[in-house]
């Protein structure tokens, strides 16, 4: 799935987010360009980015900065354990 | 229409000096789109290896311009226009992925920022080139990732120079200490894994030796051979016990370093109040 995100860096928040199917890459790229041109005309400095992820959950895990505030990111979380299968592979490899 | 390298670099110079105009934004967009095939090829290979990265199909204009203004590189030299990211549990997983990606992408270049962090940023970046288009694969452990997200988000909302070593002194100190604390934790994690693996191998050897000793008794092996085997077993049991004790100590170290990381994060939260 493709995600087109317009992000206001200084406020640390998403302005708009749109989803596209994987088959709609061209359309997503066209939309990104439209947003960038419109922002440039208005003199607005926002980050516009196209992301590719299996799901929004995955995207939220690998790119928390777009979705969470600083306090949420700083909040200590339990650590995931290493996969035992991977450890076995590494040990035997 | 293909864009020549000199056109790209001239565009880079115009972006570096600004202001941005519409025709340059369109040209940059064409250039970024030209990475799609290389990106797809890299992500396809990674998925075939059973990993599911999140990708950035192309770096944002903002980030490209920022990088051109910060560094002296040419636009055609920028290696992270397209890239993807994998967040894995531990450094042990990270090592395993480096090995498997090195096999899958023979011409890859590995940039290891774990021992030599860039402004505290620690991760492994693998650059793969497909049809002369570089694609960057970022491999971050969950702790390296947490640190990077804190650095990026605080650059967004507190001070844009934090990511590159600037910003308020107390925040710089916090990031430096936190990066070091993650490094220490991951070093222990690696040692712990090595001890667990070594103990497992010793246990397997002990089991084999126990079986061999039982067979020797059954077949009335000479006394001196049996004694030799029993001595081997005593040595193995002693080594296993030592390793187990060391593993327990390392587990304790891991708990303490996890707490230290959490304390640093809680301190940072308290400064936001």
Please tell me if residue A38 touches chain B, with a CB cutoff of 8 Å: no
Mean pLDDT of B222-230: 94
Contact with chain B for residue A45, Cβ under 8 A: yes
Question: Per-residue pLDDT for A88 more than 70?
Answer: no
Domain count across chain A:
1
> For position A84, what pLDDT does the model report?
54
> Residues B240-264: what's their mean pLDDT?
97
The whole-angstrom distance between B269's CA and the closest CA on chain A is 6
Coil vs helix vs strand at B155 = helix
Cβ contact (<8 Å) for B272 and A53?
no
Higher pLDDT, residue A91 or B124: B124
Which residue, among A54, A73, A77, A84, would best test binding to B if mutated, counting the most B CBs under 10 Å from its CB? A73
- pLDDT band at residue B115 under the 50/70/90 scheme: confident
Chains A–B, number of C-beta pairs less than 8 Å apart: 140
For domain B5-141, the CATH class is alpha beta
Q: How many CB atoms lie within 10 A of CB B204?
A: 10
Domain boundaries, chain B: 5-141, 171-272
The CA–CA distances, whole Å, from A19 to A31, A52, A75, B170, B256 equal: 11, 10, 28, 39, 42
Which range marks the domain in which residue A38 is found?
Answer: 2-92
Q: What per-residue confidence (pLDDT) applies to A83?
A: 63
Q: How confident is the model at residue A41 (pLDDT cuts 50, 70, 90)?
A: very high
C-beta of residue A47 within 8 angstroms of C-beta of residue A6: yes
The three-point CA angle B215-B219-B225 to 5° equals 75
The pLDDT of residue B188 is: 97
pTM of the predicted protein model? 0.92
Q: In whole numbers, what is the pLDDT of chain B averaged over residues? A: 95
- Chain B residues inside the 8 Å CB shell of A36: 25, 29, 61
A31 token code pair? 């939309």
CA A50 – CA B58 distance, rounded (Å)? 7
What proportion of chain A, given as a percentage, has pLDDT over 70? 88
Chain A CA closest to residue B52: A54
The model's confidence at residue A81, banded by pLDDT at 50, 70 and 90, is: confident
Closest Cα partner for B123 from B151, B100, B108, B143?
B143
Of B56, B90, B143, the CB nearest to A49: B56
Given the cut 0.95, state whether the ipTM is greater than it: no
Does the beta-carbon distance from B157 to A62 stay under 8 Å?
no
Name the 3-class secondary structure at B35.
coil
């Amino acid at each position: 799935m493709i995600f087109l995100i317009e992000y206001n860096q200084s406020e640390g928040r998403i302005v708009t987010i749109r989803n596209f199917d994987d088959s709609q890459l061209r359309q997503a790229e066209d939309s990104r360009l439209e947003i960038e041109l419109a922002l440039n005309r208005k003199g607005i400095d926002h980050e516009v980015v196209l992301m590719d992820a299996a799901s929004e959950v995955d995207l939220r895990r690998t790119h928390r900065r777009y979705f969470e505030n600083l306090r949420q990111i700083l909040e200590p979380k339990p650590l995931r354990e290493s996969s035992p299968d991977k450890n076995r592979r590494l040990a035997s490899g | 229409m293909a864009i020549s390298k000199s056109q790209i670099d001239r565009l880079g110079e115009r972006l570096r000096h600004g202001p941005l105009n519409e025709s340059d934004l369109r040209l940059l967009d064409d250039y970024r789109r030209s990475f799609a095939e290389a990106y797809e090829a890299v992500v396809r290979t990674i998925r075939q290896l059973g990993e599911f990265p999140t990708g950035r199909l192309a770096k944002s204009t903002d980030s490209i311009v920022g990088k051109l203004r910060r560094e002296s590189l040419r636009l055609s030299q920028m290696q992270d226009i397209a890239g993807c990211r994998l967040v894995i549990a531990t450094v042990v997983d990270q090592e395993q992925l480096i090995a498997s990606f090195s096999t899958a992408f023979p011409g890859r270049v590995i940039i290891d920022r774990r021992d030599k962090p860039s402004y505290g940023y620690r991760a492994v970046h693998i650059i793969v080139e497909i049809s002369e288009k570089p694609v960057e694969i970022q491999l971050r452990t969950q702790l390296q990732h947490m640190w990077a997200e804190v650095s990026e988000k605080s650059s967004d909302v507190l001070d844009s120079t934090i990511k590159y070593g600037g910003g308020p002194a107390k925040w710089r100190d916090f990031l430096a200490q936190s990066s070091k604390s993650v490094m220490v934790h991951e070093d222990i994690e690696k040692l712990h894994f090595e001890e667990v693996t070594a103990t497992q191998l010793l246990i397997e050897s002990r089991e084999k030796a126990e079986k061999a000793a039982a067979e020797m008794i059954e077949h009335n092996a000479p006394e001196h051979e049996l004694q030799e085997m029993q001595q081997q077993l005593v040595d193995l049991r002693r080594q296993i016990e030592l390793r187990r004790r060391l593993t327990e100590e390392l587990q304790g170290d891991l708990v303490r370093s996890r707490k230290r990381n959490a304390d640093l994060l809680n301190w940072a939260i308290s400064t936001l109040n």
